[in-house]
Structure 1
């Protein structure tokens, strides 16, 4: 069965609308957040940390970290519904009645969660960066210069952070799937998200650190996917 048909079947069972609303709300929140961060030097110029916020590099970096955390939680929430909850009790019995390979069903669920998280964060981040850069070019709040180089760098790191957010969602669903617990998925997501945000915040716009982080999360996610596929096959027997 073609992947687009499997996606359609999956979306008939689980609506994306609640997560789309969460993305829309998150985008509005992040847009307000980035302007607040940029305005700090003018709101409280006497603060010893105000100088940090006068740099667009720092403001955008911090905003992307917060965005990554938000989308990690959205991804985990979606995973708990699309993956963990679907393999429990009567829902699992119904799922196993489909004339489709159990492995293929699991692959479809994982891919759907991954693509939604990655794609929605890219769109959300692009909107926030575009609006911020345009308004700062016309009526600047901060004291820095919104250059083309900064915009390109921000886009590259937005892609990286979107990948990490998607990886975090899959990794947390792995833990929840093993425990057969939605709560375990959310708790694991919060722990992973906080850890990732702390690591990223200490290495703003560091190419080497980003490559290592992406590689590490990529390996963990690969192992998580293989484990869930293996468990799905065992459940089929």
Structure 2
């Protein structure tokens, strides 16, 4: 869900501004184009990471509260198990924020908001694919590899932005 959310943010904050040519106004300021796009990407990654962590915390406290009344978790929930689970999910949260950068490459290349959002949906389906117990995204190497690909594609998207023309 948050990868798709990030794809929508990328399409609204970056790709759509290229299509509407409203980014040319931003590029007239005496700030480098790379810094402008990089700051937008940091905002997108920050929002995505914040909302992923915030949602996990809300779910944790809700499940913990409901478990106190209904006892649907078998066994004892210890602080060590909570900390271990929290550390492993933080790694996945950071990787989800990095994976969310992959649609930027396709969106900038095609200058299409649809392409950006569809790429985000395909990546989200790819990471969620699997059987009932495990998904492809549950293996740590897959999201970490996609994070590296996301960072690399973000670099490819903005490394040449000073010399490319918006029009």
TM-score range, shorter chain: 0.7 to 0.9
Distance 2:25 2:56 in 1: 38
The equivalent residue for 2:3 is 72
Tell me by how many angstroms 1:109 deviates. 0.8
Identify if the C-alpha distance between structure 1 residues 146 and 194 changes in structure 2 by more than 3 Å, giving closer, same or farther.
Answer: farther
Which residue among 191, 202, 213 is the counterpart of 2:142?
213
Distance (whole Å) between structure 2 residues aligned to residue 113 and residue 195 of structure 1:
21
Deviation at 1:120, TM superposition (A): 1.4
Could you say which structure has the larger radius of gyration?
1
Q: 1:171 to 1:199 in 2, by over 3 A?
A: farther
1:202 positional shift: 2.4
Which of 31, 34, 38 lines up with 1:103 in the alignment? 34
Tell me, which stretches of 5 or more residues in structure 2 are unaligned? none
Which residue matches 2:69?
Answer: 139
Structure 1 segments, 4+ long, off by >6 Å, are none
Q: CA RMSD in A?
A: 2.5
CA contact (8 A) 1:168 1:193 kept: no
* Structure 1 residues not aligned, in runs of 5+: 1-69
Between the aligned partners of 1:88 and 1:73, the Cα distance in structure 2 is 20
* The structure with more helix, counted as a fraction of residues: 1
* TM-fit CA distance, 1:157: 3.1
Larger RCO (CA within 8 A; separation ≥ 6)? 2
Shift of residue 228, structure 1, vs aligned partner: 1.3
State the 1:186 CA deviation: 0.5
Alignment of 1:70-219 (within 5 A): 70-136=1-67, 138-140=68-70, 142-145=72-75, 147-148=77-78, 149-198=80-129, 202=134, 209-210=139-140, 212-219=141-148
Distance in 2 (CA, whole Å) between partners of 1:145 and 1:119 is 31
TM-score under structure 2 normalisation?
A: 0.85
**What do residues 139-161 of structure 1 show as CA deviations (whole Å, max 9, x unaligned)?**
12525235124422331232123
1-side partners of 2:128 and 2:76: how far apart? 24
